[in-house]
Amino acid sequence: MFHHCPFWGLAAFWDSEKNVTYAFLHCVSEPDRESIPRLKRFITKSAPLTMHPLLLPILIMDMETNLTLEDDKRWTTDINKVEQETRQTPNVSKPVDPLDLDLPSIVQQMNGASVFLSLIERESEAVLLHLDQARKMISDLHSTSPRLRQASKILMRQIEFLVNSRKNLLFRLQNLQRRSQTQLAFVCSNGKKLPEYLSSG
C-alpha cells in the first residue's frame, strides 16, 4: 500500500509471471489541478521506457513535487511583498511607521504562510521517506527480476533526481518558515507599541 497525503491513495499488486501491475487509485484534488489527466499523460509518456511495478507511485511523487514547487513560488512572492511593506529586508535603512501598516492583515497572511509551510515541510519529509522505500524495493526487484533491470535503472535515476529536488525544496521551505516567523515577530512587537505611537501623536 502506497499512500501519499493529501491527494493520493494507491493499492497495487504485481503479477510477476505476467509482468502486469493491477492497481486501485483514489485521488482527492481540485478539478482545476487536472490530477488524473496529468497522471494519464505521465503514464503514456513514461510507460514505453519504464514499465515497472513502482512506476505509478514514483510518477505521483514526481507530480506532487511539481505542485509543491508551485507552492514554494507563491509563498516566496507573498513573503517578499510583506518584507517590502515592513521594510524588514537587507539594505533598507529607513524604518517603517507602524501606523502605515495593516497589522491584522499582515498577521493573518504570515500565520497562514507559517501553517501551510509547516504542512508542506512535513510532506517533503514524508516524500523523502517514500522515495527511500521505493529505492530499496526497486533494488530488490532488480536482483530478482531480470526483465525489470532496464526499467529499474531508469527509475533509480528518476528517484535520485526527486530526492535532490525534495531536499533542496525542504531547505527553501525551512527558510521561508523562518522569514514568515521574523515578520510575525516584527509585527507583533510593533502592535504592542501602537498605544505609545498613538499617544505621542
Termini Cα distance of the chain: 64
**What's phi and psi for 46, nearest 5 deg?**
-90, -30
**For residue 4, what pLDDT is reported?**
47
Please state which of the ranges 24-28, 33-37, 142-146, 196-200 shows the lowest mean pLDDT.
196-200
Mean pLDDT calculated for residue range 71-88: 88
Q: Which three cell numbers stand for residue 196?
A: 505609545
Q: Which three cell numbers stand for residue 149?
A: 533491470
Residue 2 has pLDDT above 80, yes or no: no
Yes or no: say if 22 and 40 are a contact pair by the CB < 8 Å rule.
Answer: no
Distance CA 185, CA 183 (A): 5
Kindly report the length of the chain: 201
Residue 200 has pLDDT above 50, yes or no: no
**For residue 192, what pLDDT is reported?**
61
**For residue 8, what pLDDT is reported?**
77
**For residue 176, what pLDDT is reported?**
93
Distance CA 132, CA 32 (A): 31
Please state which of the ranges 85-99, 101-115, 131-145 shows the lowest mean pLDDT.
85-99
Express each pLDDT in 25-75 by its tens digit.
887 877 777 778 888 888 887 776 667 888 888 888 888 888 888 889 999
Long-range CB pairs of 184-192, under 8 A, 24+ apart, other chains included: 184/107, 184/110, 184/111, 184/114, 186/86, 186/88, 187/86, 187/101, 187/103, 187/106, 187/107, 187/110, 188/107, 190/98, 190/101, 190/103, 191/98, 191/103, 191/107
